[in-house]
Amino acid sequence: MGSLPFSVSDLQTSTSGARSSPTLLCTPLMGTTVDQMLIEMRKAKEIGSDVVEIRLDCLRNFNPRPDLEILIKRSPLPTLVTYRPIWEGGQYEGDETKRQDALRLAMELGADFIDVELEVAHDFNSSIYGKKPENFKVIVSSHNFHNTPSSEAIGNLVARIQATGADIVKIATTALDITDCARIFHIMVHSQIPTIGIVMGERGLISRLLSPKFGGYLTYGALEAGAISAPGQPTAKDLLDLYNFRLIRPDTTVYGIIGKPVGHSKSPLLFNAAFKSVGLNAVYVHYLVDDVKKFFDTYSSPDWAGCSCTIPHKEAALKCMDEIDPIAKKIGAINNIVRRPDGTLTAFNTDYIGAISAIEDGLRGLNGPNPASGSPLAGKLFVVLGAGGAGKSLAYGAAQKGARVVVANRTFERAKELADKVGGQAMTLAEVDNFHPEEGMVLANTTSVGMKPKIDEAPISKQSLKNYCLVFDAIYTPKETRLLREARETGAVIVYGTEMLIRQGFEQYKNFTGLPAPEELFRQLMEKHA
């Protein structure tokens, strides 16, 4: 079992009972009093959870019979009772016999599940043999707070848990790398009895989100961000609303954004809403990736259909590609990767398309529509401030459209290097203020001057903005930079950085799905959440 290569296609052929019902969403109750837990139960039901986990070790003054009677009888949802000892990551430090007595009592009083640790499971299960109510299930759990063992070791652990008489196997390991999740997915898919597989920590997030894809019996979602019962646990609300947890099935296609850090990215919000709006069987997740090559080598089947790519991986990911779009290759940075059905990886840079198309539309608005001609950038003098990743994107994009490009950078050497590549002219940022060989030029700022928190700065003087007919700023925090405000005051057309952000998203969506992006929906979501 441990030596099998991990492949999503195993799913379609597997017929084990674990996949016959959708994955349950369980919300842990962390209240310190019975009253608090009763309030939390009602909230969990309102959010849409299926099961509540009553964590008895969180209760400050626990009185077994009366407290369990209230909690189990008054719960609006099925109950899972856990009394986690300190030696397995919980808070209970008392007598072991009393702890197990409380779990047996929970069973007698009508709990639907109890969770008992592997170390004591054999004796515990023997003690209730023949007394178990009909629909009652024992989850036998093992927690590893250090790492995720080899597939073989996990396979042996599953066998040990099964041997105790468990109804449901629960294995929680710790992610040192996002590829650790693959070993848990492998176990869940191949297990012959219902299995809960979780990889803790931020690098293990996909093990929780994709549980329904791999036939997990149950996954945990916290009531609120602060009330997590294990590292890396998402909220139940995010699972349901942000990641469309209820729509994930074994044949769901997986997309995501690779980065480090990555949790702040709004991309899952846009893409999951878009997929849902057109009924596409796909999900988009956050991938916290340390080693890009290892990531692509591990998740290599066509089900892992592509990703967006953000810092610091835009250049490292280039080396892992089978094919690179010609302009992305020239720019030397990618932000969009698509896996073809044959498993090969193709990369694009959609940043430049997003920015250039927004600038072209701004110019069309200025010149009036002229469908006969090509790009309104053709022949324009196009001044790019900055020679970093975004500067390269705009310089190459503008040159491709026939513009005459000028690159201005703090250090002249970097400006010259980029200008030479696009057949343009170079200067320092200090020289831009006095540069006006003609009227009606286009300006694109890709420096961080004017970005939050230094919002009162601008990369060039208001006086020199008079020579430009259009000004674009790649900064989108704040949306209206000082540069754009002053450009508008001098009569130029302005193009916001948010336009580049939204439009590069349209392009990625098109590359991923082959469908046009739901543009209005993207705009509404950006407006609401940006």
**Cα distance between residue 515 and residue 522, in whole Å:** 14
Q: What residue ranges do the domains of the chain occupy?
A: 24-248, 271-348, 352-495
Quickly tell me which residue has 């009366």 as its tokens: 66
Chain length of the chain: 530
Beta strands in 369-486 (DSSP E): 381-385, 404-409, 425-428, 441-445, 468-473
**Cα distance between residue 148 and residue 132, in whole Å:** 33
Q: Could you tell me the strand order of the sheet in which 441-445 lies? A: 425-428, 404-409, 381-385, 441-445, 468-473, 493-495
Given this model, what pLDDT does residue 371 score? 59
Low-confidence ranges of the chain (pLDDT < 70): 1-21, 369-372, 530
Helices 118-127 and 96-108 pack at an angle, to 10 degrees, of: 50
Beta strands in 262-335 (DSSP E): 282-288, 304-309, 323-324
Given this model, what pLDDT does residue 476 score? 87
If we measure between CA atoms, which residue out of 46, 116, 109 comes closest to residue 72? 109
- Cα 133 to chain centroid distance, Å, stands at 41
Given this model, what pLDDT does residue 332 score? 87
- What CATH number should be reported for the domain whose range is 271-348? 3.40.50.10860
Quickly tell me which residue has 């343009």 as its tokens: 424
Which residue pairs, CB below 8 angstroms and at least 24 apart, start in 128-132? 128/104, 129/165, 131/107, 132/107
The string of pLDDT tens digits covering residues 87-96 is 999 999 999 9
**Cα distance between residue 441 and residue 455, in whole Å:** 25
CATH 2.30.30.170 assigned to domain 24-248? The reply is no
- What CATH number should be reported for the domain whose range is 352-495? 3.40.50.720
Catalytic positions are 143, 170, 314, 351
Structure tokens given for 328: 């992305």
Contact 74, 42 (CB under 8 A): no
Given this model, what pLDDT does residue 367 score? 80
- 55 phi/psi in degrees, rounded to 5: -90, 90
| Predicted model pTM | 0.89
| Shared fold status for 24-248 and 271-348 | no
